[in-house]
Amino acid sequence: MKVVALVSGGKDSCYAMMKAIHYGHEIVALANLMPLDDSVDELDSYMYQTVGHQIIVRYAECMGLPLFRRRIQGSSRHQELGYKETQGDEVEDLCILLREVKRQIPSVSAVSSGAIASDYQRLRVESVCSRLGLVSLAYLWKQDQSLLLQEMITNGIVAVTVKVAAMGLDPAKHLGKELAFLNAYLHKLKELYGINVCGEGGEYETLTLDCPLFSNARIVLDEYQVVMHSSDSIAPVGILHPLAFHLENKADVQYLKSQDKIHESFTQKLGSVFEVQDSVEGCEATCKPVDYRADPINDIEHKFNISRTNNKGTFSICFWLQDSCNGLQEDLKIVLGKIESQLLGLGFGWENVLYIHLYIDDMNNFSEANETYVKFITQEKCPFGVPSRSTVEMPLIEMGFSRAYIEVLVANNKDKKVLHVQSISSWAPSCIGPYSQATLHEGILHMAGQLGLDPPTMNLCKGGPGVELEQALKNSEAVAKCFNCSITTSAIAFVIYCSKHISLLERLDIQEKQETILRQMKISHLQERTTYKALDPLFLYVLVPDLPKRAYVEVKPILYVEDDTDVAFEVVTERFCLETPPSYWGFKPENWHDSCTQKCVISGKTCAIILSITSELAAKICFDSLPAEYVNNGQHSLPKAHMEKISKFCIYLLDKVMTDDDFAWEDIMSLRFYIPVSLQMSVQLLQPMFCNALFELSEMSQKKLKTGEEPIFNIVPVIGSGRSASSMDDVVTCELMAQKS
């Protein structure tokens, strides 16, 4: 991509440019914001470094690039973490500046910035980029600061301190000193006082005088004055005011490879400086999202299938169309519109949605599906954060579904914490658009489906399914760390979607890799922590037709994030009970029942269950009356009577497992029955079976289950599913998540 680089003069923005070039991008212009008054060194700004702004003008000549500058008119008016367009805010100056760069150089498609740890700054750059249709590049984001500082020095960043404001830093001693000289001392201050060695806490600011990008000349600071802002005895604050400097031409001019290609149409202006004035048009988004609403006639023209769980706190709603002859986009538009109207009817909106499962019938149409999706779920509609998402191709048409099938997890409050990083970085894959990496709500971290993407390039890792899985788990761990947890100790469950294009041998490799990687991560995590308490997560493997980007695997972790209270962690397959459990439909407790289930219980809070019915277990349930050839390969259809019995057994066993741990059907947040298409049973046939089983359980047990007009479960069509990657051939797999409301 062609990139305009935000430069403050500091080490971070310069090194961010170097990283952008390293990852194949091309810097075509520089952009800088400076004080309204030239005599002012530093502004009271949460966004911009301005100390040393007098020297930035020479960066254009040093790099042979056009420099666009704007004087800061606004102030920090919108000081909340998440930013929305605010007239008179200093962020709008950045928007005007970048809009002008884009107008003069239309090929610009990305913005580079040196954000390392400040969500405040990153979110504002992302907001501006989103409005202007630009991609944010933040290659220093979340990097280890000690390693990063050493990288900068090793890779030729020559920068001096121009501001110090921390315990242990003396303006008289440390201003004007090079980073290489201060490196060891900064690490000593980190040990003594816990400072950020890269100055991310405002401890110091720098001015880059030379770096490999300065191909024409370096800057020599001849004379400067130390100006004291505070003479505090503990942490005095001083800045460096440059009085005289000059450029020193480089004898051995070495142009970067990318320099040869710098937008030929702009060649005559290389090294020039342009001051961007106020814009009459203001800073408006290049395109406004269309606010789609459900068409009232849809309820007449289309028959909807709706399911909803009964948890009063967090519940799932699932929608799909029956007998639809539409294309994917039209189906998705109708379904999303219906969900929106249903949410409004309940007094909710998209801001209450925590997670979205998007199932489509053909991954070749993913871009069209996404185009429709982003017209409904927007950041404007979700001021508390957009929901996380997983997108998977499923064999929908084969089982009687429409081309779009959506499940949303909804909370009755807005007490959620959302991680939505849209910048491309080395940290974890970006989410450019209205979907987040993870959403935390009432102790449960719902993580978006993670592919094996190399974060800085956003390309799938090469090397096959095992390599992709390893990267997907690393990406998941990076996201988990942002919530002070780990997938090795906090995971309740992993759902691992596997493409049908993976061979059986590769599936075995996936499972072995997954176990090895998580074990290694756990060892590393233990070495970092003095205390240890971990869940033993559940695993569910789902075989699907295709995944985004033609990936081999997609990992979807669900984590429990501890609060300050003590909780009991438990993973159990058997529980001793003095009372004889009730018997329904003639099913009585048997020793082999334990082999059907895994469960992860956080006492009094959350219960997760995976129930796996293999063909062998199906034969036992049906009293060994299944055909021998079905038991052997599990690829043949079942008689309806047998499937009815299996559905009742699933409900019976789920009821028993939940009851053992004091959970009820009303606590269920989500319940999915994964059914393979090889059974040759339509959803229209399967859904009544499970509905009848629940109704009969309610009648027999007198539990007064709400079985109303809408099912409390979703049927998800798959190629196969199971508890191991090597044998995804269950007749039925149940995935249940319950939480006390």
Residue with more model confidence, 41 or 449: 449
- Using a 10 angstrom Cβ sphere, with 0-12 exposed, 13-18 middle and 19 or more buried, the burial of residue 176 is middle
Instruction: Kindly indicate the confidence band of residue 362, based on its pLDDT and cuts at 50, 70 and 90.
Output: very high
Residues 556 and 588 both lie in one domain: no
Q: Is residue 139 a part of any domain in this protein?
A: yes
Q: Is residue 283 a part of any domain in this protein?
A: no
Residues 484 and 582 both lie in one domain: no
Query: Which CATH number do you get for residue 252?
Result: 3.40.50.620
**So what's the pLDDT on residue 326?**
86
Residues 680 and 540 both lie in one domain: no
Q: Which has the closest alpha carbon to 379: 98, 638, 82? A: 82
| pTM to 2 decimal places | 0.89
- d(CA 404, CA 333) in angstroms, rounded, equals 9
Q: Is the pLDDT of residue 119 over 70?
A: yes
Query: Which CATH number do you get for residue 382?
Result: 3.30.1330.40
| Mean pLDDT, the chain, integer | 88
Q: Is residue 589 a part of any domain in this protein?
A: yes
Domain around 420: 416-562
Q: Is residue 15 a part of any domain in this protein?
A: yes
- How crowded is residue 183: how many other Cβ atoms within 10 Å of its Cβ? 16
Q: Which has the closest alpha carbon to 256: 218, 215, 216, 210? A: 215
Domain boundary among 379, 399, 414: 414
- d(CA 167, CA 164) in angstroms, rounded, equals 9
Please state the rounded mean pLDDT for residues 535-563.
94
The owner of tokens 């590769």 is: 506
Residues 410 and 422 both lie in one domain: no
Q: How far is CA 162 from the centre of its chain?
A: 36
**So what's the pLDDT on residue 109?**
97
- d(CA 411, CA 37) in angstroms, rounded, equals 50
Identify the three-state secondary structure at position 98: helix
Q: Is the pLDDT of residue 597 over 70?
A: yes
Please state the rounded mean pLDDT for residues 101-118.
95
Task: Write b or e for each residue in 45-63: b if 16 or more Cβ atoms lie within 10 A of its Cβ, otherwise e.
Answer: eebbbbbbbbbbebbbbbb
How large a percentage of the chain has pLDDT more than 90? 71
Instruction: Kindly indicate the confidence band of residue 707, based on its pLDDT and cuts at 50, 70 and 90.
Output: low
Residues 429 and 406 both lie in one domain: no
Name the β-bridge partners of 597: 611
Residues 512 and 460 both lie in one domain: yes
Tens-place pLDDT, residues 294-324: 444 344 466 788 999 999 999 999 999 987 8
Domain boundary among 275, 306, 332: 275
Residue with more model confidence, 623 or 152: 152
**So what's the pLDDT on residue 282?**
56
Residues 649 and 503 both lie in one domain: no
Q: Is the pLDDT of residue 437 over 90?
A: yes
- d(CA 133, CA 31) in angstroms, rounded, equals 17
Q: Is the pLDDT of residue 79 over 60?
A: yes
Residues 398 and 454 both lie in one domain: no
Contact indicator for 446, 354 with CB cutoff of 8 Å: yes
Residues 676 and 701 both lie in one domain: yes
- How crowded is residue 521: how many other Cβ atoms within 10 Å of its Cβ? 19
Residues 63 and 144 both lie in one domain: yes
**So what's the pLDDT on residue 269?**
55
Q: Is residue 661 a part of any domain in this protein?
A: yes
- d(CA 470, CA 474) in angstroms, rounded, equals 6
Q: Is residue 570 a part of any domain in this protein?
A: no
Query: Which CATH number do you get for residue 655?
Result: 3.30.1330
Contact indicator for 559, 419 with CB cutoff of 8 Å: no
How large a percentage of the chain has pLDDT more than 70? 88
Residues 596 and 672 both lie in one domain: yes
Q: Is the pLDDT of residue 290 over 90?
A: no
Domain count, the chain: 4
Which has the minimum average pLDDT: 156-170, 190-204, 214-228, 241-255?
Answer: 241-255
CA of 116: how far to CAs of 15, 198, 426, 666, in Å? 11, 9, 11, 44
Please state the rounded mean pLDDT for residues 135-147.
96
Domain boundary among 562, 588, 607: 562
Tens-place pLDDT, residues 381-421: 998 899 999 999 999 999 999 999 999 999 999 899 999 99
Q: Is residue 264 a part of any domain in this protein?
A: no
- How crowded is residue 139: how many other Cβ atoms within 10 Å of its Cβ? 25
- d(CA 485, CA 562) in angstroms, rounded, equals 8
Q: Is residue 569 a part of any domain in this protein?
A: no
**So what's the pLDDT on residue 25?**
97
**So what's the pLDDT on residue 183?**
96
Q: Residue 179 corresponds to which tokens in the numbers above?
A: 């980073």
Residues 532 and 467 both lie in one domain: yes
